[in-house]
Every structure is written in structure tokens, then in C-alpha cells.
Amino acid sequence: MAVVSCIDSQELQGYHDGILPRDSMVTLMLEVQLVESYRNLQYIQGAGDSLHAGRIKGLYDEVFDRYKITAQRFDSSYNYYQNQDPVILDAMYTEVNQRLSEELSKIRR
């Protein structure tokens, strides 16, 4: 479930008390959105057992391990952007949605 975009390791070091840079957050938000979409699809299909919950946790772990961050750092960064200004976070989600649409259009070709 890897996204084509890469995050520079220096960029992941953050710039404000460990807060991930905006572009890195957008990439991570995209990956998290894919995990959430999978989780929601599984829930709709009735796969709400503990095995399924373990698989979802594993997918989150894969995302955070790939970028060498913790879930706590992601959450802290998300909260930082959310508390800065809702318009900023909205713009980030707009970019996430655009990138998801681009990826979907590639698949449909």
C-alpha cells in the first residue's frame, strides 16, 4: 500500500519541536487515509474481529516504520497543524484528495 511519493530523511527530522514538515505530513496523511479506507471497507464487509484489528494495526505500523516515525509523532504533528488553523489542515486534506484522485486515475487507465 505504498504511495509513490518519497520523503527525504532530513525532512523527517522536523522543524518545530519534532513536528513533521507540511509536505511530509501530506504524504503520511495520504498513506493513513489509505489504511483508514481499507479499515472502513473491511468494517462494511463485516470483518470486525480481532484478527482484522491486528491487520489494521500492522498496516499502520508498516506506514510509520517505512518513514521511521512513531504514531505519537504523527499524532503530535497532526494536532499541531489542526491547532494552527483549520484552513491549513483543510488545504492539506485537499492536497491528499488530489493525490488520491491522481493515483486512482492511473489505476483506471
Inside any domain, residue 28: yes
Residue found by looking up cell 506506514 in the block: 63
- What pLDDT sits at residue 92? 96
Sign of CA dihedral 50, 56, 59, 60: negative
Contact between 19 and 76 under an 8 Å Cβ cutoff? The reply is yes
What backbone phi and psi angles, to 5 degrees, belong to 8? -65, 135
Give CA–CA dist 40/44, Å, rounded. Answer: 6
Q: Flag whether pLDDT at 77 surpasses 90.
A: yes
Parent domain of 38: 21-108
Our count of domains for the chain comes to 1
**Mean pLDDT, rounded, for 56-67:** 93
Inside any domain, residue 11: no
Q: Flag whether pLDDT at 13 surpasses 50.
A: no
Q: How far apart are the first and last CA of the chain?
A: 19
**Mean pLDDT, rounded, for 53-76:** 92
Inside any domain, residue 33: yes
